[in-house]
Structure formats: structure tokens, C-alpha cells
Amino acid sequence: MRKSLLWLLLAVVPLLGGCWDAIEIENLKFIMVMGIDREPSGRVLVSLHAVNVEQLNVSTESSSSSGGELPYYLTTVRGRSLYEAFHNYFTRKHGRRGHFSHLQAIILGEEFAKDSLPECIDWLNRERELSVETEIFLARGRAYDLMKVKPIQERVSGSFIEGLETETANIGFVPTATVPILLTAFTTPGREAIIPLLEKGKLDLLGQGEKNETLQLGGAGVFRGSKFCGWLTPNETRGYLWITGKPRDPLVIVGMDERKVAFDVQEIKRKIKPHITGNKVRISVEMEARGEVAEIFGRGPHVDEAFFKEVGKRAADEIKQEIKNTIALAQRLGSDFIGFGEIVRGSTNNKKWKELDWRTQFPQVPVEVKVKGLVRRSGVAVEQLKAW
């Protein structure tokens, strides 16, 4: 028996040589950022930031002294479909397989996003190597133009965009869009997709004036079904985030006579209630924002309880206005990216949901917004310091 077991074990040995489908790292071309555009001819233009491995280990100083070669290069491929462009033409030009496991950002051109987002999301959904954390952005105009901008702050473009998104989302000016988030938004009845807007910005570097190009985030693009339908300003985007999520560190600037007070919102409680009468829907949004005072800019009387109360009240008015503007825009565009429909559907049944005909009804749905602001803490200092 022992002998036969030994033979059996020996027979298994040839199978232990390693993964059958292993791909050596030197045969891969890592992609960090991908831009997708629709060309006038209808073909798809895919721009890629591919890693330049040789430059990856070069320190910043020696890199700048040797002409500042970046650890990535921009390359483009075209095709009738996304997969054809990336898989066939990229491989033919680079002699290596493009690899998405380190892809940090995907930028969609406006023309492409107008009616091809579902195809793009479907492709990304099927892509095995893609990280679930890869962020998706919309470009006003062509994604290729943004791909050409070299970030000044970071050597690696993907890390720059990723950091930009994380920090801007923290202060509440952009929503987060990843493949799973977009797939859920697309497939959930009563909800539409929203994608952050990435655009060119000007940067004053070493006192040269605002000559240097950089990338900046703020605002978002929204969809109605699979079609792109409009843009949100950063404040309208924040209006959306007040209702749906919790920005990590949003700041509301409140005018108090001559002074400006920064109200740092630290906790949000919200309740969205649909009221259905017959086939008519009414929605009420109740929200409470609690936080602390981060800055008092300008001079004025003593800081006391009444002052805190007034700051809370005015901050609530400010937030309420942002929310109302966003809802008005959503209704004007006919895009329920806030997801009221999902909540309405959840409170009824599928038959009733069909009768409500949400896409038609949404632009006319009355939405009542109530916001309460509360300064819970004074922050590090209670009193405003004054010279003696």
C-alpha cells in the first residue's frame, strides 16, 4: 500500500511545476490610467498611460536632472470596440499584454459617454484583472486631452488622480464612481448613474503665474438611463452628497454679519420618506447636520450659545439651499441620480411601481426639505482671540 501511495504521489509531481496560466511579469505592460473617446468616424480611441519600468526606480532628482523622463508614457490605440482596441492593437504595437491590475483611473470622454457607457461598463465588468477600487471619471470634451497633462505634484499620473479623487471626495465636491457602484446604479430601478468630472486646471508654480496645466476635480456628470444628460457644479454635487452619502470633511461657510464662520460638518442624520397617494408621490427629506466651528474670520462680538445657535441655523439654510438646487436640477434633467425612485420602489410593490411610471413622474414630484444644523462643539478654541 505504501508503495502504491508513493507512486501516486510521484505521479502528482509533474503537476506541481506552477500555475498553468502564469504570465511572467516582464511580459506584462502595466496600465495606470486609461482614457476612452469616440472618434467622429465612430471608432473608439483608447489612450493609455503605460508604465515605463526603467524610469520607475529613478529618483525624482536624477530624473529631473536627466531631462525629467516620466515613469509612464502616453500611447493610443483605435478599434471598432474597446476590447479590439486594447487587446489586439495594443499588443501588436507593444509586444506585451496590457494589464489592468494596477489601473487606477478610467477617464471617459464626453462624446463617448453620451451613449456608450453601458458597453464600457459591461466590458469592465467582464475584465478579470481590474481592481474594484479603480475610479471612473468623466471629461468635459476629450479624455485624450486630459491624458496629455503631466501632473506636477506626482510622478505617477494614476496615483495623482487617485489622491485627487480621495481628497476631493472627502471635502464633498465629487461623488465616487467605481465599476461596482456604476453597475449597481445602472441596474437598480429608480436610480441613475453619476460620475465625477475631471478637467484641466491652471496651477501657479514658482510664481510663474497660472501657466502650468494640472488636473482638477469638482462637479459631476449625470445620466438618464444609459444616456449622458448633464453636468453638476461642485456645489450641486455637494447637494447630492448631503442627501446620499457622508462626505468625510465638508465645510459650510456661513455669513454672520461682518464675519465668516466655517462650520465643519462631522455627523449627518437623514430620513427620506416617500408618501404615495393613488399614483402620486410626494417626498420628504429630513436632515440634521452636526459639527464644530473650524474658523471665525472677521471681528465681532463675543462667541456665546446664541452665536452657536445662529451658526447652526444659517448653516442649515445653506445646506438646504444646496440640496434644493440639486433636486431642482435633477428634476429639470429628468435624471433621478439621487435615488428617490429606489426608495419609492422599496416602499411599494412592483405592480404599483410600474403604475407610478417614475421616469415620467419624477420631474413633477414635490420634494419637501427640512434641515437642522447644530454646532455641537466649539472646536479647539471657544473664544475668538483678540489683540489687547
List residues binding another protein (CB under 8 A).
5, 8, 11-12, 15, 19-21, 128, 131-133, 180, 183-184, 187-189, 342-343, 345-351, 353
Cβ at position 162, least distance to another protein in Å: 8
Cβ at position 130, least distance to another protein in Å: 10
CB 226 within 8 A of CB 174: no
Closer residue to another protein (CB): 341 or 373: 341
Whole-number Å distance between alpha carbons of 129 and 170: 27
Alpha helix stretches (DSSP H) within the chain: 2-12, 53-56, 60-65, 82-83, 90-94, 110-126, 143-147, 157-171, 179-187, 234-244, 305-333, 340-346, 350-356, 358-361
Residue with cell 479623487: 165
Name 195's Cβ contacts closer than 8 Å, sequence gap at least 6.
Answer: 108, 113, 136, 137, 138, 175, 177, 182, 220, 221, 222, 223
114, 288, 304, 334, 373 from 228: Cα distances, Å? 5, 32, 49, 11, 34
Cβ at position 20, least distance to another protein in Å: 4
82, 151, 235, 296 from 148: Cα distances, Å? 20, 9, 28, 41
Cβ at position 93, least distance to another protein in Å: 23
Closer residue to another protein (CB): 320 or 345: 345
CA atoms within 13 A on the CB side of 354: 2
Closer residue to another protein (CB): 89 or 353: 353
Whole-number Å distance between alpha carbons of 299 and 362: 46
Closer residue to another protein (CB): 78 or 359: 359
Cβ at position 180, least distance to another protein in Å: 5
Closer residue to another protein (CB): 189 or 379: 189
- Please state whether 245 falls in left (phi above 0), alpha (psi between -120 and 50) or beta: beta
DSSP string, 133-153: T-EEEEESS-HHHHHTPPPSS
Whole-number Å distance between alpha carbons of 261 and 279: 45
Cβ at position 226, least distance to another protein in Å: 14
Closer residue to another protein (CB): 163 or 201: 163
Closer residue to another protein (CB): 272 or 369: 272
Whole-number Å distance between alpha carbons of 217 and 235: 12
Cβ at position 188, least distance to another protein in Å: 5
Cβ at position 103, least distance to another protein in Å: 12
Q: Which amino acid is at 127?
A: E
134, 275, 344, 347 from 352: Cα distances, Å? 37, 13, 10, 10
Cβ at position 9, least distance to another protein in Å: 9
Closer residue to another protein (CB): 16 or 206: 16
Closer residue to another protein (CB): 186 or 362: 186
